[in-house]
Amino acid sequence: MTATKIFPNIISQHPTADIPIDGVTSHLVQAGQQQFVFMQFDKDCEIPEHSHEAQWGVVLDGTMELTIAGQKRILTKGDSYFIDKNVRHSAKIKAGYTDLTLFNQADRYKIRK
């Protein structure tokens, strides 16, 4: 299933973000100094530990194991999370996971060409 089938046209009309993860489809909405990214994962994946500017997200569907500063949480539909600036985090994402993430960074992702 692709994100264009999951998300209505009001979202899927936005450009795809250049996210270097196999099996992710995304739509990037630039909002001043922040970015909203709608993401759909078609494969299980692991995101290695990293850090960046603050991030907030809400799970629209599926399951993700999120580790923030060494503390693990299992997130499912309706859950939200917040990761403060420069806090180390990683994730194990299951196929079918869909979310909306706000990055407090205007250039977190570029538009895929």
User: Looking at residue 30, what is its pLDDT?
Assistant: 95
pLDDT (average), residues 65-86:
98
User: Closest Cα partner for 107 from 52, 64, 61, 69?
Assistant: 52
Confidence of residue 2 (pLDDT cuts 50, 70, 90): very low
> Which tens digits make up the pLDDT trace of 86-97?
999 999 999 999
Kindly report the pTM of this predicted structure.
Answer: 0.91
Q: What is the domain class of 24-103 according to CATH?
A: mainly beta
CA quadruple 57, 77, 68, 12: dihedral positive or negative? negative
Query: Cβ–Cβ contacts within 10 Å for residue 55, how many?
Result: 21
What ranges do the domains of the chain cover? 24-103
Sheet holding 63-68, edge to edge: 45-50, 89-93, 63-68, 71-76
